[in-house]
């Protein structure tokens, strides 16, 4: 099963910042939007794993 969530990205100078409102505390950051996206995915995975255990 695949779930879909909202992800918002903002450019802050040299960095991209990403967050997902469905997972408070899930934030990503990277020099490129793809790095930011991958960091956000990892943060969401960590939160889900923590909540399931």
| pLDDT tens, N- to C-terminus, the chain (53 residues) | 788 899 999 999 999 999 999 999 999 999 999 999 999 999 999 999 999 98
Q: Kindly report the pTM of this predicted structure.
A: 0.88
Is 21 a member of any domain?
yes
CA-to-CA separations, 46 to 21, 29, 35, in angstroms, rounded: 15, 15, 17
Is 24 a member of any domain?
yes
The number of folded domains in the chain is 1
Is 3 a member of any domain?
no
Is 2 a member of any domain?
no
Which residues form the domain of 31? Answer: 8-52
Is 36 a member of any domain?
yes
Is 1 a member of any domain?
no
According to DSSP H, which parts of the chain are helical? 33-52
pLDDT (0 to 100) of residue 18: 98
CA distance 21 to 33: 18
């Amino acid at each position: 099963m695949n779930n879909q969530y909202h992800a918002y990205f903002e450019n802050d100078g040299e960095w991209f910042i990403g967050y997902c409102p469905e997972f408070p505390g899930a934030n990503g950051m990277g020099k490129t939007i793809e790095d930011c996206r991958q960091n956000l995915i990892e943060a969401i995975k960590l939160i889900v794993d923590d909540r399931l255990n």
